[in-house]
């Protein structure tokens, strides 16, 4: 016979007493139900908390990915800007190389063999510029490699350029007196209307050798000495008109013709940049200009090679 458990319930409102009789298994079952409910609630509550936490982490990851995408986009824009800057640096180093070559020509200083591998040469850069507009999503690594290669080349070229300028400076210091007497600036502002060399004569139409450089401008424009020297002649001749000839020593002589006015006299010492007269149209001339000659040991040479400004 199964054991019965009696339960009496009494309330304050009435004097009635209610009696319940349950078996032991039934009581255990009744007590198990709350435990089961609590267990289920705890299980689902834990699962809900995990889902909630996962959702929060997912939102956080999405925001991080968005930030990373923005950062990557910014970095790619910076890479493109850096590629443009590399191109500018290449141009600047190339310009320095060209300027060095021009100074060497003026100073008659030969250049040692270039150990730089030919990245920069006379006239510009011997390689294509980086294209800053390439699609970085497709060629990101390619652009990075190209930038690294060209920055290495620029670094080598800059180091070589430093060596070249140091060598040039040493020689220039030794040749300072000669350089002071070497023509190196334009004699006047204006336009080159007739270069050095063979040309058709504006008077006869026949081919003739033009021993100087014609620079045209308005009458009265200033004409300056292109190097230090002593005035060897200041006067007028039939074809070249009013003319000044300056002896710079070392076999170097400059001539300035077709002048309107002369401000210097024979025997006067002049310095580079000093005004020696005004541009005009005297002598055999078709318009206001200055005929400028540079002669080395009596032989006319191209004056443009002696203009660095």
pLDDT tens digits along 211-232: 999 999 999 999 999 999 999 9
Give φ, ψ of 253 to 5 degrees.
-135, 140
Pick the more confident residue, 144 or 294: 294
Q: Is the pLDDT of residue 10 over 70?
A: no
d(CA 46, CA 40): 10
d(CA 136, CA 143): 8
Which percentage of the chain shows pLDDT scores above 70?
79
Q: Which residues contact 230 (CB under 8 A, 6 or more apart)?
A: 246, 247, 267, 268, 269, 270
Strand ranges (DSSP E) for the chain? Answer: 4-10, 17-23, 120-121, 124-125, 191-194, 197-200, 207-210, 213-216, 222-224, 229-237, 241-249, 252-262, 269-270, 275-279, 289-296, 299-301
Nearest 5°: the CA angle 266, 272, 239 is: 50
* Torsion from C-alpha of 66, 69, 74, 77, nearest 10 degrees: -150
pLDDT tens digits along 12-51: 665 666 766 767 776 677 777 777 777 877 777 777 777 7
pLDDT tens digits along 149-163: 778 788 888 888 888
Q: Which residues contact 103 (CB under 8 A, 6 or more apart)?
A: 109, 168, 172, 308
Nearest 5°: the CA angle 154, 156, 159 is: 105
Q: Is the pLDDT of residue 1 over 70?
A: no
d(CA 243, CA 109): 31
Read off the pLDDT of each residue in 63-81 and give the average, rounded to a whole number.
73
What's the pLDDT band for 165 if we cut at 50, 70, 90? confident
d(CA 215, CA 222): 12
Q: Which residues contact 80 (CB under 8 A, 6 or more apart)?
A: 132, 133, 136
Read off the pLDDT of each residue in 225-243 and give the average, rounded to a whole number.
95
pLDDT tens digits along 108-151: 777 765 444 444 443 344 455 666 566 555 556 666 777 777 78
What's the pLDDT band for 87 if we cut at 50, 70, 90? confident
User: What is the pTM assigned to this prediction?
Assistant: 0.48
d(CA 284, CA 204): 12
pLDDT of residue 96: 81
pLDDT-wise least confident of 83-92, 243-252, 262-271: 83-92
* Torsion from C-alpha of 145, 148, 151, 156, nearest 10 degrees: -110
Read off the pLDDT of each residue in 290-304 and give the average, rounded to a whole number.
95
pLDDT of residue 117: 42
pLDDT of residue 31: 72
Answer yes or no: are the C-beta atoms of 242 and 197 closer than 8 Å: no
d(CA 154, CA 306): 29
C-alpha torsion sign, points 190, 194, 197, 201 = negative
Read off the pLDDT of each residue in 275-282 and give the average, rounded to a whole number.
96
pLDDT-wise least confident of 152-161, 240-249, 283-292, 296-305: 152-161
């Amino acid at each position: 016979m199964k054991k019965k458990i009696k339960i009496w319930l009494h309330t304050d409102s009435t004097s009635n007493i209610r009696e319940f009789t349950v078996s032991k298994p039934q009581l255990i079952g009744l007590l198990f139900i709350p435990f089961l409910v609590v267990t289920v609630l705890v299980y689902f509550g834990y699962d809900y908390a995990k889902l909630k936490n996962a959702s929060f982490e997912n939102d956080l990851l999405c925001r991080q990915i968005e930030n990373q995408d923005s950062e990557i986009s910014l970095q790619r824009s910076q890479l493109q800007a850096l590629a443009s800057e590399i191109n500018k640096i290449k141009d600047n180093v190339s310009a320095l190389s060209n300027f060095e070559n021009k100074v060497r020509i003026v100073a008659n200083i030969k250049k040692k063999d270039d150990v730089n591998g030919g990245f920069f040469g006379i006239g510009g850069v011997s390689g294509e510029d980086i294209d800053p507009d390439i699609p970085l999503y497709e060629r990101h690594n390619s652009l990075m490699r190209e930038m690294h290669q060209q920055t290495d080349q620029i670094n080598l070229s800059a180091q070589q350029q430093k060596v070249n300028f140091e060598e040039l400076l040493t020689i220039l210091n030794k040749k300072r007196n000669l350089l002071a007497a070497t023509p190196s600036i334009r004699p006047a502002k204006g336009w080159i209307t007739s270069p050095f060399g063979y040309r058709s004569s504006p008077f006869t139409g026949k081919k003739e050798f033009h021993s100087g450089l014609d620079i045209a401008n308005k009458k009265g424009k200033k004409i300056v000495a292109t190097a230090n020297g002593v005035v060897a002649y200041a006067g007028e001749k039939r074809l070249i008109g009013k003319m000044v000839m300056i002896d710079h020593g070392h076999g170097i002589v400059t001539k300035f013709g077709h002048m309107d006015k002369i401000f210097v006299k024979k025997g006067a010492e002049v310095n580079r940049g000093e005004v020696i007269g005004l541009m005009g149209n005297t002598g055999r001339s078709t318009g206001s200009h200055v005929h400028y000659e540079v002669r080395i040991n009596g032989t006319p040479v191209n004056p443009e090679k002696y203009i660095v400004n």
